[in-house]
Amino acid sequence: MARYSIARATPQSDFTVAIEWSDGSKSIVDFRPDIAKGEALSYLREPAVFLHRLFVQSEGQSLAWDTPSGLIDFHVDELWWRTHSKSFAAE
Residue 2 confidence (pLDDT): 59
Give pLDDT tens digits for 21-68: 999 999 999 999 999 998 889 999 999 999 999 999 999 999 999 998
List the 26-30 sheet strands across, edge first: 6-11, 16-21, 26-30
- CATH number, domain with residue 45: 3.30.2020.10
Higher pLDDT, 3 or 46: 46
pLDDT range class, residue 90, cuts 50, 70, 90:
very low
Domain count, the chain: 1
Domain presence at residue 1: no
- pLDDT over 70 (residue 88): no
Is 29:17 a contact under the CB 8 Å cutoff? Answer: yes
Domain limits for position 79: 6-90
Predicted TM-score (pTM) of this structure: 0.88
Average pLDDT over residues 70-80: 95
